[in-house]
Amino acid sequence: MIQITLKDGKVVEHPEGVTPLEIARGIGSRLVKEALAAKVNGRLYDLHRPLTGDAQVEFVTFDDEEGQLVYRHSSSHVMAQAVKKLFPECKLAIGPAIKDGFYYDFDVLQSFTPEDLEKIEKEMQAIIEADLPFERFELSREDAIALARAAGEDYKVELIEDLPEDAVISFYRQGDFTDLCAGPHVPSTGRIRSFKLLSLAGAYWRGDERNRMLQRIYGTSYPKQSMLKEYLFRLEEAKKRDHRRLGVELDLYSVHDEGPGFPFFHPKGMVLRNELERFWREEHVKQGYQEIRSPIILRQELWERSGHWEHYKENMYFTRIDEENYAIKPMNCPGGIILYQSRLHSYRELPIRLGELGLVHRHELSGVLHGLMRVRCFTQDDAHLFCRPEQVEDEIVGIIEMVEYFYRNIFGFDYHIELSTRPEKAMGSDALWETATNALRGALEKKGLPYKVNEGDGAFYGPKIDFKLQDCLGRTWQCGTIQCDFQMPEKFDLTYVGEDGLKHRPVMLHRVVFGSLERFIAILTEHFAGAFPLWLAPVQARVIPITDRHAEYARQVTDRLLEAGIRAEFDGRNEKVGYKIREAQVQKVPYMLIAGDKEVESGTVAVRERSEGDLGAQPLEAVIADLKGRIETRYLRRES
RNA sequence: GCUGAUGUGGCUCAGUAGGUAGAGCAGCUCACUCGUAAUGAGCAGGUCGCCGGUUCGAAUCCGGCCAUCAGCUCCA
């Protein structure tokens, strides 16, 4: 007999070789139905896998993230089985579960068509109805390779060969389908209830563009039809927040065939930008920054010196002026450096913090352009900090605090942090990289912030801390970043005069808070679904007279608001109130001020807030004071 | 850049046996003067992404290019 400790601490006895499923039967029928896998001593197990000794056993269901992963992973095996049946010549690559679903990569001669997806779905349905058990077996490396080779699964052979020495090599079989897999899986294919294949895409083998491109099928699955429906509905709802759609609907910005990746900002989009810039400038002055502006075009020779030519020229645009080669800046740093170098600096001045709202141009691959999120010209809210080595950590901490203040307090964003280390193609010695990376890590540790390490993702001149925000579909975008750079100061022989009267090398920090105004505005738009906080709203109040005879009063109200510095519009069109209100609602105008007989008589306006609705009549001056207060404090209220 | 899909008036979309385009919304005009999410009537608006080919004839078939969308790679 072995002792099984359950989640609630209860200990039960079972004969050796008992399976988690059998243990579940002893607990309750609902658990038997809902359990997808077991956690045995903290490791995920199949429900069918016999236990050989005393163990702590917990069950995972679809309510657990791990359960979802198991469920989706099994779904991907079902899909692979279906694909193998319909396209026997195809080779299997990998098929993991991901957030909200799963995918599988196949190497097929001809790419799949949407009609193929339907056929695959039908086949999957048949496999599910057959309720085939998932059976696990282990093989030695030699046997595993032999099995994969015999099946013609070249990618699997490669995967097995790359497994670490001590790895347990396991396979899972359901019906006539066998796949290399660490598991675990749900007990049988019948456990997959509702699924849908969502999209088709190309994906390079092992994510390397030098490798062959495989066909990837994305899908998702849920234990209940209603959950699947709910997911698809949420997806549709999320798309309504898409900044590309709202950009057109709210007349904020647009991109055209005439300039792919080069966005146009409309008057209302410019209001957003200008408000963001104004806020940015206020905060940076408070934090001891000075503002500069460097030219957009500079000699190519500068970029050769900075290392951009060597490391970044594929992304740069070039031009010729008077028979000389020039480059259009993809980054602002060399400009900032030239400015720093324009005179001598004392240690007493450091740190020098030079901010620049710099317009940069980068040649991005056509396939990656995405509304305002990924463009070919954008404005970085850049700054370059020149400091003494012992000031580095404090400066980094200061920047982190500013990012936190912006993201959390002002905009109410959720975000996560990544620390990106030395890339393959990098400048400078390992020792300097080490020092720079430690400085960044040290600041994060000091602030006690959680972060994930992103190996090899740093800039070519230094490691970085990235702040990542999410769009309407949960895709993450890098916005803020802090980069620690010991290379440029060397390259450009930057110096300051120390206490000892000798020249010393400053450390340079590159950083952005918004990241790019364009991307940040895109994120803002999706985050608020276009219903911007009052201080950012392109139109803050719309004044609506009920009939012509209230027009004059309404116009006076509008003038008074404008005079008070509130962005107000007068809607004197010959339409019903309901119509004008609807329009203002659709345009997400935060306040509608309505004037009819009662209001004209009493010198009030009827206030309607876009999410709270009719708030009743209030004296105009009180409304103005209220709005101004919210605007000045940049009051944030999350819209549902 | 790669894989796949898509491309019809400002927006959303109809338009498959290939016979020179249609709706709703938006816009404009007129009437209605109206109390918190769409008043009614009328008018106007399209080289059917671009170029070429097949055909008596192409939005519809074929090819090339461009752009967009999803994903991959890459990145603020």
Concatenated DSSP letters of A89-118: T-EE----EETTEEEEEEE-SS---HHHHH
Range with lowest mean pLDDT among A227-241, A489-503, A591-605: A227-241
User: H-type helices in A287-416, by residue range?
Assistant: 300-306, 308-312, 333-341, 392-404
Q: List, for residues A522-537, the tens digit of each pLDDT value.
A: 999 999 999 999 999 9
> pLDDT digit string (tens) for A145-169?
888 888 888 899 888 888 888 888 8
> Is A485 designated active site?
no
Which has more confidence, A77 or A49? A77
Q: What are phi and psi of A228, to 5 degrees?
A: -65, -45
ipTM for this prediction: 0.93
A65-109, pLDDT tens digit by residue?
888 999 999 999 999 999 999 998 889 999 999 988 999 999 988
Q: What is the mean pLDDT of residues A618-630?
A: 96
Q: How many CB atoms lie within 10 A of CB A169?
A: 21
| Residue boundaries of the structural domains of chain A | 2-61, 66-240, 268-527, 541-632
Whether the pLDDT of residue A638 is over 50: the answer is no
- Categorize the per-residue pLDDT at A210 as very low, low, confident or very high, splitting at 50, 70 and 90: confident
Predicted pLDDT of residue A593: 97
Higher pLDDT, A182 or A302: A302
Distance CA A410, CA A407 (A): 6
Query: Which residue from A636, A583, A585, A628 is spatially nearest to A609, judged by alpha carbons?
Result: A585
How far apart, in whole angstroms, are the C-alpha atoms of residue A397 and residue A386? 15
Contacts of A416 (CB under 8 A, 6+ apart): A450, A451, A452, A467, A468, A476
Asked if strand B comes closer than 7 Å to A202 Cβ, the answer is yes
Q: Is the pLDDT of residue A640 over 60?
A: no
Decide if pLDDT at A189 tops 60.
yes
| CA geometry: angle A550, A554, A560, nearest 5 deg | 150
Query: What pLDDT is stored for residue A21 in this prediction?
Result: 78
Q: How are beta strands A2-6 and A55-60 bridged, if at all?
A: parallel
Q: Is the CB of A512 under 7 A from strand B?
A: yes
CATH homologous superfamily for the domain A2-61: Beta-grasp domain (3.10.20.30)
Q: Which of A52-66, A106-120, A263-277 has the highest mean pLDDT?
A: A263-277
Amino acid at A311: H
A262: its two tokens? 């080069």
Nearest by Cα to A577 from A608, A622, A541, A617: A608
The overall average pLDDT reported for chain A is: 91
C1’ B30 / CA A264, Å? 37
* Contact status, residue A605 vs residue A557, Cβ threshold 8 Å: yes
A313: annotated active-site residue:
no
Catalytic residue among A46, A105, A179, A382: A382
What is the gyration radius of the CA atoms in chain A, in angstroms?
A: 30
Collapsing DSSP to helix, strand or coil, A352 comes out as strand
Distance A609 CA to B37 C1' (A): 13
Closest by CA to A470, choosing from A157, A241, A167, is A241
Whether CB of A606 is under 7 Å from strand B: the answer is: yes
pLDDT at A26: 76
Q: Strand B nucleotides below 7 A of a protein CB?
A: 1-5, 10-12, 31-39, 66-76
The answer to whether the CB of A129 falls within 8 A of the CB of A169 is no
Between A512 and A64, the higher pLDDT residue: A512
Tokens encoding A604: 């009030």
How far, in Å, are A37, A422, A559, A593 from residue A618 at the CA level? 61, 60, 17, 10
Instruction: Name residues whose C-beta falls within 8 Å of residue A143's C-beta, 6 or more positions apart in sequence.
Output: none
A254 strand B contact, CB < 7 Å: no
Pick from A158-162, A288-292, A590-594, A602-606: least confident: A158-162
Say yes or no to pLDDT of A370 above 70.
yes
Q: What is the pLDDT of residues A22-40, one digit of tens each?
A: 787 878 777 778 888 888 8
Q: What percent of chain A has pLDDT over 70?
A: 100
Helix/strand/coil for A103: strand
pLDDT at A394: 94
The CATH class, in words, for A66-240 is alpha beta
Q: Residue A497's pLDDT band (boundaries 50, 70, 90)? A: very high
Mean pLDDT to the nearest integer, A177-190: 88
Asked whether the beta carbons of A259 and A322 are under 8 A apart, the reply is no
Tell me, yes or no, if A567 is annotated catalytic: no
CATH number of A268-527: 3.30.930.10
Three-class SS of residue A62? coil
Is A391 a residue whose pLDDT tops 90?
Answer: yes
- DSSP single-letter state for residue A41: T
| pLDDT bracket for residue A639 (50, 70, 90) | very low
A609 touches strand B (CB under 7 A): no
Span CA (A56) to C1' (B10), Å: 65
Could you read off the pLDDT of A460-488 as tens digits, one per residue? 889 999 999 999 988 999 999 999 999 99
Beta bridge partners, A192, equal none
Q: Give the mean pLDDT of A619-636.
A: 95
CA→C1' distance for A539 and B14 (Å)? 36
Assigned CATH for A541-632:
3.40.50.800
Task: Tell me whether strands A476-485 and A464-470 are parallel, antiparallel or unpaired.
Answer: antiparallel
Work out if A329's Cβ lies within 7 angstroms of strand B.
no
Q: Residue A238 in 3-state DSSP?
A: helix
pTM of the predicted model, to two decimals?
0.92
Per-residue pLDDT at A516 exceeds 80: yes
Predicted local distance difference test score (pLDDT) of residue A514: 97
pLDDT tens digits for range A316-364: 999 999 999 999 999 999 999 999 999 999 999 999 999 999 999 999 9
- In degrees and rounded to multiples of 5, residue A59 shows phi and psi of -110, 140
Active site residue A119: no
